Structure formats: C-alpha cells, structure tokens
Amino acid sequence: MDIERDVLEVDVLIVGAGPAGLACAYHLMKKAEVAGGEPPAVLVIEKGSHPGAHSFSGAVMDPSGIARLIPDYIEKGMPFEAKAGADSLWYMSEKSHFKFPFTPPGMGNDGNYIISLNKFTGWLAEQTEATGVEIYPETAAFELIVENGKTVGVQTVDMGLDKEGNPKSNFEPGTIIKASVTVLCEGVHGSLAKQAGEKLGIFDKAINQSYLTGVKEIWEIPDGRMSEGEIIHTFGAPLLSNMYGGGFVYKMSGKMAAVGFAVSLNSPDPTNDPHRWFQEFKMHPSIRPIIEGGEMLHYGAKTIPEGGYHAMPQLYHDNMLILGDSAGFLNSQRLKGIHMAIDSGMMAAETIIDAIGKEDFSKATLAAMQKRFESSPTKQELYKVRNYHQGFEGGILAGMIHFGFQFITGGRGIFDRQEVEPDHAHMRKLAGYFSGGKKPKPPLKFDNKLIYDKLTDVYKSGSKHEEEQPSHLVIADYDICNNRCTEEYGNPCQYFCPAQVYEMVDNEEGGGTHLQLTPSNCVHCKTCDIADPYQIINWVVPEGGGGPNYENC
C-alpha cells in the first residue's frame, strides 16, 4: 500500500524516554544554554502512555549518575523509596539460608537509594521538559530509516490497522521523523537497535549479549518483617546449581517491598520459566515469612543485559548514537545500570553539542562518543567486571571460582573476552534434557495469596493493548511452532514468557495442538525474541500507548 506520510524534522531525535534518553536531552539543553544562541530542536519519543509507564527495575540506584546530571537532585524532589539500609547476601539451600558475614567486594550499597524506576523516570521527564525538550508519549518507533548507510531518522508505527493489517476508519499513517542525530535508547534488546545491528553492523565486533529475565512484584507486607531500606539478595535455591540467577527483597517506603527474581536465559532447560522460579522463590521457607499475609499490588518483568563491556556495540555511526540498556550499559556484578544509563546520556549530549558546533554528524565526528566512554569512570567500572557474567557459563560454583580470579587480576580472570554462544543456543531438546528418568516439574498450584498465576500477575502490570491491531509478535513460520518445536522442544515459549502470551491449544480437528497468541498480555520484556530456539519470533512495536502501565515498580 502506497502511503503518504507526514515528515517532521528536528535536530536531535531521542527514541525512548528512559533514564539514558532523558539524561541525554536534559544535558544537551543545559550545555546549549551555557553555549548561548538558538537551542537545538530536541524531540524525545516514547512508546508508553507516559514517561515511566514502561520503566521497570529492581531497583537500588547508585546516585552517582543523577548527582552528575542534576547536582541538586534532592532539592529538586527526586523521588526515592528509602536510603539503602541493612544489606545482606544469602546463600539459599532448599529449606534454609546462610547469611554471608560480609558483603562481597563491589556489591555494597552504602549511599545508594531504593527507588521506583517508573516514578524516577516520570520525575526526570518533568525536569527535562522544563528545559524546553518536547516529549511525545504514545509514539512508537517502528523502523530505523537508513539511506546510503546513514541513519536519516525513524518511521513511527501505523495506527488504526486491523489484525490483518487493513486500515480501519481511524487509520493514521506513521510519521517520518528526520533528524541530524538519532539516539537509540529504547531499553533492553530494542527493536531499532536490532535493526541498527542488521543495517549498520554496530554489534559485529561484540561478543554475544547474555540476558537474564527479571520478574518482580510489589507487595504490601505486614509491619515488623523488615526495616525501611533493608536489602536482601539471594543466590542458590530454588535454582539448580547449573543455573545463574537469584532473588531480592527490598523494603521500600511505608509497607511496600519489592520482591523479585532474575534467571539467566542461557539455561539448557526447555521448560525454563522465570515466572515459575519467582513463585518458587516466594515459597522458600526463608522468603515466605517475610511476605505471607501481605498483599500483592503490582507486577512486571523485563530482560537484563548481562554481557558487560565485551558485549557492547560500537556506540556511534553516521547520524546515530546508541545508549543505556540498548547498548548494554550495566554492571552485571552489581546489577546496576541506572547510573550508567545516565552517564551514557550525558556523554552523548556532549558529543552532539560538539557535532552541532561543527555542523558535522558523520561517524568521524560522532566517534567522539566512543572516545569519551573509553576514558570515562563508567568504562573503568565496566572493565573491572568485563568477564563476570561469562564466568558463570559453567554454573554457580565455577562462576565463584572465576570471580575470585577476576577479583585478584583486575577483572581479567582465567579467560579474557570469553566468547559465549547466544542464550537460545544453550537450550537442549526435550529428549536430551529429560533423559535418564529426569521429568518436567508438575504444574504449580496457585493460591493467589502467595503465589500467582501469570494472568493475575499480568492484570497487576496494568498491561493493555488495542486488541484490533496486527500482532506485534511476528512469527516467521507457524509450521515450525506447531510441529517441529512441539516435538523437539515442547514449545518453550509457553514457559519463558512471563505474561502467558503463548499457549498451545487443541486443534478443532485431527488431534494435535497449535500456537495461539494473546499479544494484549505482553509486558514488553523481550524474552521471547531472545530465548526462542529457532529465532523465528520478532518483537516489533505495537501501537503507541500499548503495554504495561507500571506503578511503584
């Protein structure tokens, strides 16, 4: 269909109103103010219904990033739940736990804040708008426009199409937004970042990214169970010894506590189910007494880019920069990325200001972003843990040994720049994984008091989508799902999706099952795009405004 599209032109287009994108916009305007003259036209677009609607994290924030961006952040009312208080690390056996007498080096939280990332992001958006930046919510970037190897801008998604892709009466064609620089910061495994990999090769020199899926609920817990600001991190049970991940409980303000669990997507188990591991974590005899009798308020899930320094892309190309979680700015040992996302935004802003001064947005000029990063404290922090996640390829015990060597060798460890297979390649077929009498676990019995089924949890995420639109989970070949995958892997999408988007339902005739999607449940975590063993699921943006509506998360 030939469609006439509106074209909008700005100086700087920022895709994603998360901490990285907002920090970039804010710092850019502050720098421009100091330089004097006409401020650049900066536009931030965000697929959520408002800035923060899709922002989701643990989160214990290292305030060093926000302190650099907005030194008077406390006076400006930055929202936080509590100052980090008593901090402990537990090794979980099946029935009990062992509390480490000390916090391992680099993992302390003194001076940090427990925050709700979606509240923090909303506040940062207000600060940013006050500088003159325009933020368009409900605006989802569908395609990265590249002409002659250079990024021109983006096209936003068409609105008002039916499930088959035909225009409805409210059809609105997506807009082409052109910019001198397009900044990609859509969060983990961004759909435009994927396109930038394919069209511009920015990930070609990086090792494969490794991901965890984190699942979290916000609870109101009875008084006296934890002190405000208390932080508990766990590893061990319920996970098996060949798996990487762990749980956390953070006491927020009032009665609220964040309870969550993250598990690596490089598991060999085709029934690896992050939502189930989380329920088992809550049932653990050491966690249950903390939350039992309380009330579950909110739910969400997201993936976490754990690969570290060696898995980062080239941060620049002609007329393009990439930041934040999209570029893997995350310290995998500390599980902290918000301060780094902000730092990456500030480095991008300084690079863009120089480029505006030179009226040159070529990669020769924007390469200054990479130079800034390589000589920054952020790089130093990432470089010290550059091999951390890869050390756990052989399980927790091997990982601890690697970590010990990395600690005494300044991050080098036994292998430097260890190549790893992509997460999905670790998955074993049913016949191989469940051999020798090993059986899949029986289904959990949800009581909806302590452990919740996926649909109840999705309801608590506030996720909504327009039902009458093309599926934003694009399956390249349903035959593979309905036949080959059923036989070989048992349709792992049913397990790894934390929002029950994928179900195998009985065929009406002839026996067997087929894949049925409920895209409206999706919480935009991207697990399916990463973990599908055949790599035939492509997550693309749905209509703007669709997705979770996180609160206190």
> What does the binding site for ligand SF4 look like in residue numbers (CB under 6 A)?
473, 497-499, 501, 522-528, 539
CB of 356 to ligand SF4, least distance (A): 36
Torsions phi, psi for 492 (to 5 deg): -60, -20
For Cα atoms 193, 69, 545, give the angle at the middle one, nearest 5 degrees: 45
For residue 402, what are its two tokens? Answer: 């690697």
CA 482/CA 14 separation, integer angstroms: 39
Q: Are strands 42-45 and 7-15 parallel, antiparallel or unpaired?
A: parallel
Give whichever of 276 and 524 is closer to ligand SF4, judged by the CB atom: 524
Give the nearest distance from C-beta 159 to ligand SF4 in angstroms: 20
Given the complex with ligand SF4, which of 351 and 461 has the nearer CB atom? 461
Tokens of 38: 């006409």
- Overall size of the chain counted in residues: 553
Q: Least distance in Å: CB of 501 to ligand SF4?
A: 4
Six token digits for residue 40: 């650049």
For residue 200, the minimal CB distance to ligand SF4 (Å) is 24
Contacts with 433 (C-beta within 8 Å, 6 or more apart), sequence order: 268, 269, 270
Considering the complex, state which of residue 191 and residue 370 has its C-beta at the smaller distance from ligand SF4.
191
CA-to-CA distance for 430 and 162, rounded, in angstroms? Answer: 37
Closer residue to ligand SF4 in complex, CB, 31/526: 526
Sign of CA dihedral 45, 51, 57, 63: positive
Compare residues 145 and 215 and give the one whose CB is closer to ligand SF4.
Answer: 215
The CB-of-526 to ligand SF4 minimum distance in angstroms stands at 5
Residue 58 or 345 with smaller CB distance to ligand SF4: 58
| Contact of 57 with 340, CB cutoff 8 Å | no
We find the least distance from the C-beta atom of residue 520 to ligand SF4, in angstroms, to be 10
Residue among 355 and 517 whose Cβ is closer to ligand SF4: 517
Question: C-beta of 524: minimal distance to ligand SF4 in Å?
Answer: 6
| Residue from 195, 194, 184, 145 nearest 14 by CA | 184
CB of 301 to ligand SF4, least distance (A): 6
216/432 Cα distance (integer angstroms): 31
Pick 10 or 473: Cβ nearer ligand SF4: 473
Q: Shortest gap between Cβ of 300 and ligand SF4 (angstroms)?
A: 10
CB closer to ligand SF4 out of 302 and 339: 302
Question: Is the Cβ of residue 17 or residue 525 nearer to ligand SF4 in the bound state?
Answer: 525
Residues 511-522: b if buried by 16+ CB within 10 A, e if exposed? eeeebebbbbbb
CB of 464 to ligand SF4, least distance (A): 13
Task: Pick the closer one to ligand SF4 by CB: 356 or 541.
Answer: 541
Q: How far is the CB of 496 from ligand SF4 (least distance, A)?
A: 6
Burial 203-233 (b: 16+ CB within 10 A, else e): beebbbbbbbbbbbbbbebeeebbebbbbbb
Cα dihedral sign for 348, 351, 356, 362? Answer: negative
Instruction: Work out how close the CB of 15 gets to ligand SF4 at its nearest, in angstroms, rounded to a whole number.
Output: 18
- Burial (CB count <10 Å: 0-12, 13-18, 19+), residue 20: buried
Nearer residue to ligand SF4 within complex by CB, 175 or 191 = 191
DSSP string, 356-385: HHHT--SHHHHTHHHHHHHTSHHHHHHHHT
Long-range contacts of 393-400 (CB under 8 A, 24+ apart): 393/266, 393/418, 393/420, 394/242, 395/241, 395/242, 395/243, 395/244, 396/235, 396/236, 396/239, 396/241, 396/243, 396/244, 397/241, 399/244
- What CA–CA distance (Å, rounded) separates 250 from 271? 28
Contact predicate 374/409, CB 8 Å:
no
